[in-house]
Structure 1
Amino acid sequence: MFERFTHGAREIVVGAQHEARELHQSPIGTQHLLLAMLADPSSAIARALAADGIDQRYVRAEILRRVPADAAPDTATLVDRDADDREALKAIGIDLDQVRRAIEENFGPGALRLPRAQAPKRRGLFGRFYAGEGAKGHIPFSPRNKKVLELSLREALRLKHNFIAPEHLLLGLLREGDGLAMQIITEREVDLGRLRTTLTQALNDKAA
């Protein structure tokens, strides 16, 4: 699946990991994906949500208000979640080595290296991303976020697109219909029908 991601969609997946790390939060949730979607204020997503007062600053403030720093999965369930991550990503065709290469291509060699003092002690599926000599970082995608990635592919197939762009990711998030990102969006009383229409039109323009 990752081969179908446009450059912009790959940057969002990478950016979500970066946002979670910057906020000292784990796992990578839908809220981090939304934050990454809003990184470029000139994007179709940012313009569509700006009318309802949703921008990156607003979303970050809402996340900080609702989610404590260092929110982390229970270590007792960590192994099970690793297994779930591995199977879910395999099922939707995401190759972790390709993800790592894409990240370093976008942000430079060693972009995933954490300072030793900040590196979490847990090891797991995403631990291989961190090139530091100390403990490897483990920031898994939440089950809900993995579902959003899967649904973004389904949205692309529904629209008969052979690529996955940022707008597909947001359509997947809307289709999943739950999670913190959706709470933030719906509490601003966003017209979801209008938003879907705007995103679909932007995608059709790209496909034309």
Structure 2
Amino acid sequence: MFDRFTDRARKVMGLARQEAQRLNHEYIGTEHILLGLVQEGSGVAANVLKNLDIDLRKVRSEVEKLVKTGPSMVTMGQLPFTPRAKKVLELALEEASNLGHNYIGTEHILLGLIKEQDGKAAKVLTNLGVQLDSVRSEILDFLGAEPQQTEGEKETATTSKSKTPALDSFGRDLTELAREGKLDPVIGR
């Protein structure tokens, strides 16, 4: 499942599991993933959250207000993801492919978290006074990517662009050159 994840993204998922265990939860939810992102500390998502003045202490206290710690018991084995956490991972994959990336990094996970607005992580960020749209634009600025276009904008952009940009930049259109009379005559065929 995590084969396309970067090392940092894998670390985030491990930290999310640790946070779930620390809170004595028998599941990994969006709130644990958010805690993992903040705790990781050096990825794109962590830097974006730092820029938005979000730190581990604030997130942890907000999560603890929102969800209570579970009964003190040791959970052995793998912790399952909640349906919302699974949705976040699907959205992260979708965001990565929309940006043309063949990997899933911490930035994609954070984009997935804010896109799943019904999750506890989005609620935590909102409670901390963060506008979810500003998180998205901050990530895209950090990556140097353009914001997603609407359907109408996509259609006009695709009609003006060539279907073969690599071929256009590295090749020569011999048909066009022949029309313009710029090809040397071929003798002896």
- State the TM-score, normalizing by the size of structure 1: 0.63
Question: CA offsets, 1:163-183, max 9 Å, x none?
Answer: 110000000111111111111
Structure 2 residue 39 is matched with structure 1 residue 39: yes
Change (3 A) 1:8 1:138: closer
Instruction: State whether residues 23 and 69 of structure 2, in contact with CA within 8 Å, keep that contact through their aligned partners in structure 1.
Output: yes
Of 102, 119, 123, 2:74 maps to 119
What's 1:61 paired with?
Answer: 61
- Cα distance in 2 between the residues matched to 1:138 and 1:155: 26
SS state of the match for residue 39, structure 1?
helix
What's 1:4 paired with?
Answer: 4
Give the share of equivalent positions with the same residue, in percent. Answer: 41
| Ranges of 4+ aligned residues in structure 1 off by more than 4 Å | none
Alignment of structure 1 residues 83-102 onto 2, 5 Å: none
What's 1:185 paired with?
Answer: 125
Structure 2 residue 49 is matched with structure 1 residue 49: yes
What's 1:156 paired with?
Answer: 96
The amino acid across from 2:97 in the alignment is: L
- Cα distance in 1 between the residues matched to 2:90 and 2:113: 10
Structure 1 position 53, deviation (Å): 3.8
Instruction: State whether residues 52 and 188 of structure 1, in contact with CA within 8 Å, keep that contact through their aligned partners in structure 2.
Output: no
- Cα distance in 2 between the residues matched to 1:4 and 1:22: 27
Q: Identify unmatched segments of 5+ residues in structure 2.
A: 146-189
- Cα distance in 1 between the residues matched to 2:77 and 2:102: 33
Structure 1 position 204, deviation (Å): 4.7
The amino acid across from 2:33 in the alignment is: L
- Answer 1 or 2: higher relative contact order, Cα 8 Å, separation at least 6: 1
Q: Identify unmatched segments of 5+ residues in structure 1.
A: 72-116, 121-135
SS state of the match for residue 3, structure 1?
coil
Change (3 A) 1:182 1:23: same
SS state of the match for residue 4, structure 1?
coil
Change (3 A) 1:119 1:194: closer
Instruction: State whether residues 122 and 132 of structure 2, in contact with CA within 8 Å, keep that contact through their aligned partners in structure 1.
Output: no
- State the TM-score, normalizing by the size of structure 2: 0.68
Of 112, 123, 128, 1:172 maps to 112
Change (3 A) 1:191 1:119: closer
Structure 1 position 42, deviation (Å): 4.2
The amino acid across from 2:70 in the alignment is: D
Change (3 A) 1:190 1:164: same
Q: How many residues align?
A: 145
- Cα distance in 1 between the residues matched to 2:41 and 2:78: 29
Change (3 A) 1:27 1:13: same
The amino acid across from 1:34 in the alignment is: L
- Cα distance in 1 between the residues matched to 2:80 and 2:67: 16
